[in-house]
Amino acid sequence: MEFSSKLLKNAVDEMSQLPGIGKRTALRLVLHLLRQPNHQTQQLADALTTMRQTIKFCKNCHNISDVDLCEICANPHRDQHLICVVEDIKDVMAIENTSSFRGLYHVLGGKISPMDGIGPNDLNIPSLVEKVKVGNIRELIFALSSTMEGDTTNFYIYRQIQDFEVRTSTIARGISVGDELEYADEVTLGRSITNRIPFESSLKM
């Protein structure tokens, strides 16, 4: 792809690094921004810069937040004894959209994947185990995607907490194997949480 401007090329190169954005799509987006009034482009730039510089991660669940404790963890009407364990922030958003879950979350920040060099200590697993050790957690719901990495992560956590008095369950297999939660429709995902099964039962499947 030839460019008549190095500034344009640089903008397209940066935009094309975003997930799902190829060079042609990046070019369309950059040209669209060029056609907008300066103040609109500046507002976009300012919003991205401010987000990157000031956004926080909740000290309790590791979800994104504007303050130290996210709105979900700070909500007194949420069930503080029920935790849904998810891989990523996008999964929190997907589950929240179902309006089927009123507990708290714990964002791991990924899945155990030896092939990618990701081990248990690279994730937010130790802080989850500590929560269980304190004894305030009644149930953990494993809501990771049904992949080998997801199942490995579930089993690792289960082994770490199996000596403590905490119930473990996993979302029902309404989510196809290999599917990511963010792509599941809200009805299917909501039913999978509501109809969750004991984790021990999933080990026999």
Q: Are 30 and 11 in contact (CB under 8 A)?
A: yes
Query: Angle at which helices 89-96 and 186-194 pack, to 10 degrees?
Result: 90
Q: Output the tens digit of pLDDT for each of the chain's 205 residues.
A: 778 899 999 999 999 999 999 999 999 999 999 999 999 999 999 999 999 999 999 999 999 999 999 999 999 999 999 999 999 999 999 899 988 899 999 999 999 999 899 999 999 999 999 999 998 899 999 999 888 899 899 999 999 999 998 999 988 765 443 345 555 556 566 667 776 777 766 665 5
Shared domain check, 170 and 90: yes
CATH number of the CATH domain containing 119: 3.40.1360.10
Q: Is there a contact between 22 and 48 (Cβ–Cβ < 8 Å)?
A: no
Question: d(Cα 46, Cα 171) in Å, to the nearest integer?
Answer: 39
Within a domain: residue 16?
yes
Output the pLDDT for position 176: 45
Q: Are residues 40 and 84 in the same domain?
A: no
CATH code at 22? 1.10.8.420
Q: Determine the pLDDT at residue 177.
A: 37
Q: Looking at the structure, tell me whether residues 89 and 158 fall in a common domain.
A: yes
Asked, for residue 1, whether it belongs to a domain, the answer is no
Same domain assignment for residues 149 and 166: yes
Count of the separate structural domains present in the chain: 2
Which pLDDT does position 180 carry in this prediction?
58
Are 107 and 143 in a shared domain? yes
In which domain, by residue range, is 125 found?
57-202
pLDDT value, residue 3 = 80
Shared-domain flag, residues 45 and 80: no
Query: Of the candidates 128, 121, 165, 127, which has an alpha carbon nearest to the alpha carbon of residue 143?
Result: 128
Q: Cα(84)–Cα(92) distance, rounded to whole angstroms?
A: 9
